Amino acid sequence: MNKIAIIGVGLIGASLGKALLKNRAVTEISGFGRRRSNLETALAGGCITHIADSLEEAVSDAEIVVVCTPVETIGLTIRQALPFVQPGTIFTDVGSTKASIFEDFQALCESDGCIFIGGHPIAGKETSGAAAADENLYVGKTTVLTNREPEDAFEKVAAMWRSVGANVVFMPASEHDAVLARTSHLPHLLSCVLSAVTERELFPFTGTGYASMTRLSGGNPEVWRDILTDNRQNVLAAMERFERQFDEIREILSRNDAKALEEFLTLAREQHDAQ
């Protein structure tokens, strides 16, 4: 590719840009975002090739526009960028939820002669910003794309992600949101709950297990507020499933059923080992 634009050069966008440039998959990457200091960090770190002073400058002549803003602003960003791109420009995103924007913006982009391919790289860290960029962040990780049409646009976005080491799979938007509620959004909530109910005076008595369990709670609250709100129905369904299992374990402990408890723990370990 000659040029792509990355809108929102935080951890996800900066890591993508850094890997694309390292692997020589693109010649030029324009970066645009809210904080000049973060963009300067991205430029110095080899995540973008230049800083755009406006959204128009960023997306002009870009073959692919990768929107890496929080979920709630992805739609607005695409709407604002559409007047400045050429017909045939591909828009894609990295949002953790897909169904709420997929139909709207596929139709919106098509009406302007552009293309929208929904995307979600399932990778990240608790740290944020361009300073945390990792060129290997996507190696061996799954990136979900939520529409195959038009096929040449799908393949172009897929090739972009494969060039940074990701495994690309197709999954319809609604299915993606239901799956991620169980594999990502619920785990984040559980981590936050454990962190929230542990009094600070107990911290000296926590070890690596507690640190592992609460690691996710260090994520950006604004980002996760938007994700959980946008996908709340699927998250609520995942919570109900979890509550049923938790109630079963409570009952096992209440009746002091050591055999059933061991069977559950064994099943859990087998599930862990199968990952």
- Residue ranges of domains in the chain: 3-171, 175-273
Cα separation, 9 vs 30, in Å, equals 10
CA 166, 169, 170, 171 dihedral sign is: negative
User: Which CATH homologous superfamily contains domain 3-171?
Assistant: NAD(P)-binding Rossmann-like Domain (3.40.50.720)
**C-alpha closest to that of 70 among 99, 103, 33:** 33
> Token pair of 172, please?
């319809």
Sequence-distant (6+) residues with CB within 8 A of 101 are 74, 75, 93, 95, 118
Give the helix ranges, DSSP H, for the chain: 11-22, 36-44, 55-59, 71-81, 99-111, 151-162, 173-180, 186-197, 208-214, 221-230, 232-254, 258-273
State pLDDT tens for residues 147-193.
888 899 999 999 999 999 999 999 999 999 999 999 999 999 999 99
**C-alpha closest to that of 225 among 92, 128, 51, 97:** 97
State pLDDT tens for residues 34-55.
889 999 999 999 999 999 999 9
Class (C level, CATH) for 175-273:
mainly alpha
What global pTM score does this model have? 0.86
Cα separation, 200 vs 159, in Å, equals 47
